Structure 1
Amino acid sequence: MNILGKIKYDFMGKRKIALVVSSLLIIMSLISIVTRGLNFGLDFTGGTVVVVHFEEGIGVTEVRENLEASGYQNIVVKNFGSSKDIEITLPPQEKAVATPDMDEQSDSTQKDEAKLSNAVLEELKKLDSSARISKADFVGPQVGDELIEQGSLALLYAIMGILIYVTIRFEWRFSLGSIAALVHDVIITAGVFSIWQVEFDLTVLAALLAVIGYSLNDTIVVFDRIRENFRKGRKATTEQVINNSIGQTLSRTVITSFTTMLVLLALFFFGGDLIHGFAFALIVGVIVGTYSSIFVASTTTLALGISREDLIPVEKEGANLEHIP
């Protein structure tokens, strides 16, 4: 049973208000991204990650304060699965000597990072003599630059694929409406990360791709109902058809978003620091994606002049008699 029933509300009558809200959010997001940028994590900037194991649990704050007092700046310290394992992320360190040969430079870098990991371990042994390194990784700046490029291309290819898919399944006005909603969602979600300077790493990039899929799913459900209602309500205006379609699918949209949010909130609060950014990006994306599937996608399609004739081609008179010789 549909617990919400068919929602009757003039959604399209509020499209100007929605346009103002969306425009302000996008402008704020773009200004923040341009002026403040994203707080890229180690995956993109390069640096060293050291996971230190302790026999007894130790506080993250205690470890951070100890390392900062020893001269390590801009470090990120968080639990790695349990309170006995601490993950420490250090930004790239200045090198005293630069070697022209790439192989020599690579060997020198590895030695420097090994020395850095050992130096961090020695500092932490002052807190707990049982400290030992269980994992140490180094990501070079060149790898980070490649990940930024590849990640941007992944988003672009996903949007292009969706554009082609929706055009084939529905109509080009619907495809532009869905793309407008997806771009809207990605920009605002990235803007939230920029404004609050939440760490942006590969898990967040994966979350953005998941947001695209989630938002598109909601949008396709609404578009399917619009197409069905165009065929049923021949006397209804385009605006009335879109309003009725959104109202008929709103209960499904709300219930899906609500159950998804329950899982994401559990991951955000109890999943640990490792997936904190991933869960946060999806929480923002689900909220923005639900809003955009109602107001942005359908509003854009309406503004482009979608009509019943675009979805139901007019049959030529006598076309059904062409088989008669």
Structure 2
Amino acid sequence: MMQLLRVKDTIDFMSIRKLTMAFSALLIVISIISMAVRGLNFGLDFTGGTAVEVGFSQAADIDKVRGSLESSGFADASVQLFGSSQEILVRLAPRGADVTAVMIGNDMMTAIQQVYPDAQMRRIEFVGPSVGEDLKEQGGLAMLTALICILIYVAMRFEWRFAVGAVLALGHDVIITMGLFSILGLEFDLTVLAAILAVIGYSLNDTIVVSDRIRENFRKVRIDDTIEIINISLTQTLNRTLMTSMTTLVVLVALFIWGGQIIHGFATALLIGVFIGTYSSVYVASSIAISLGISKEDLIPVEVEKEGAEFDNMP
């Protein structure tokens, strides 16, 4: 029989579950409002358009480059540093159908070379608007499909209350991560979408570990208090959760600092997602299962009486 943790060794996570649920609800509301009002700063992958990477032999003055582009008819161009002070990325919304990416790139380089004659084009990319819309639609369907599959798996593997808690916790992670991208105005491109899908997998892994320990303790610990059993389970998995999160964060911080501009959004989304995912695995999924009335009886297998057992007990 599993040894029960002493009361003083058990962390009472669920004592603040109402406060954490209110906090999560507030974050979700703020995120949804921001996405509805401000929207997401979709990158070239979703909006379509032309992106030109330009290299310089010295540190580039963003304002000077932007001013030169505006005077040459590119007032809507987005100019930002790209990896270092000697590289910039210029993004431009789609032009007419008869205007090719090469033409746009040459015109932009002509404008930039008016202030920086030694500027060189490193690369140029073009994404059509219809392709961007398709990517946006397919990305949303990918997240929805993942959540539905997770709901079915957890319901079959554990119990439907755990399944609902796990899926709502994952939805909580996705909405808050996207909401922070909207609030901060960070670029949302395909790498960020990939990071959000990775966050779903990471958070689900933590939730499955916690749910499995709760189910095991429901069956083995001789306590009828659901909240106490969940507290014991969360305490037992805490070291594993913290070690997983910390080692993951070390890698993500390194990617965020030294990974370069290409994967900056990817690393940012994962950093946010790991924090939110660890929090939701401890508080959101378990709190929702409690609110739905999970009990010890729901996870204890029903004993089926064998045929003829009543005759075995006869004198």
Q: TM-score over 0.5 for the alignment?
A: yes
Q: 2:144 aligns with which of 124, 133, 156?
A: 156
User: Which residue does 1:238 correspond to in 2?
Assistant: 226
Report the 3-state secondary structure (helix = DSSP H, G, I; strand = E; otherwise coil) of the residue aligned with 2:208: helix
CA 127–74 in structure 1, closer or farther in 2 if over 3 Å, else same: closer
Distance 1:78 1:249 in 2: 43
CA 86–35 in structure 1, closer or farther in 2 if over 3 Å, else same: closer
User: After superposition, where does 1:123-162 map in structure 2 within 5 Å?
Assistant: 123-162=111-150
Q: TM-score, normalising length from structure 2?
A: 0.88
User: Which residue does 1:289 correspond to in 2?
Assistant: 277
Report the 3-state secondary structure (helix = DSSP H, G, I; strand = E; otherwise coil) of the residue aligned with 2:11: coil
Which residue identity is paired with 1:59? A
Which residue identity is paired with 2:225? T
User: After superposition, where does 1:267-282 map in structure 2 within 5 Å?
Assistant: 267-282=255-270
Deviation at 1:320, TM superposition (A): 8.4
Indicate conservation of the 8 Å contact 2:173/2:276, yes or no: yes
Distance 1:63 1:43 in 2: 24
Distance 2:16 2:295 in 1: 20
Question: Which range moved further: 173-182 or 62-71?
Answer: 62-71
Q: 2:89 aligns with which of 64, 87, 91?
A: 87
User: After superposition, where does 1:164-243 map in structure 2 within 5 Å?
Assistant: 164-243=152-231
User: Which residue does 1:59 correspond to in 2?
Assistant: 60
User: Which residue does 1:42 correspond to in 2?
Assistant: 44
The answer on 1:78 being equivalent to 2:66 is no
User: Which residue does 1:29 correspond to in 2?
Assistant: 31
Report the aligned-residue RMSD: 2.4
Which residue identity is paired with 1:249? T
Q: TM-score, normalising length from structure 1?
A: 0.86
Deviation at 1:11, TM superposition (A): 1.2
Where does the alignment leave 5 or more consecutive residues of structure 1 unmatched? 96-104
Indicate conservation of the 8 Å contact 1:171/1:310, yes or no: yes
Question: Which range moved further: 305-314 or 68-77?
Answer: 68-77
Which residue identity is paired with 1:297? A
Indicate conservation of the 8 Å contact 2:105/2:124, yes or no: yes
Distance 1:174 1:261 in 2: 27
Percent identical across equivalent pairs? 54
Deviation at 1:321, TM superposition (A): 4.2
Question: Which range moved further: 212-221 or 313-322?
Answer: 313-322
CA 122–222 in structure 1, closer or farther in 2 if over 3 Å, else same: same
Question: Which range moved further: 271-280 or 59-68?
Answer: 59-68
Distance 2:240 2:9 in 1: 11
CA 76–128 in structure 1, closer or farther in 2 if over 3 Å, else same: closer
Indicate conservation of the 8 Å contact 1:39/1:199, yes or no: yes
Indicate conservation of the 8 Å contact 2:48/2:127, yes or no: yes
Provide Cα deviations, 1:244-286, integer angstroms capped at 9, x if missing partner.
Answer: 0001111111121112112112211222222111111111111
Deviation at 1:140, TM superposition (A): 1.4
Give the length in aligned residue pairs: 304
Report the 3-state secondary structure (helix = DSSP H, G, I; strand = E; otherwise coil) of the residue aligned with 1:89: strand
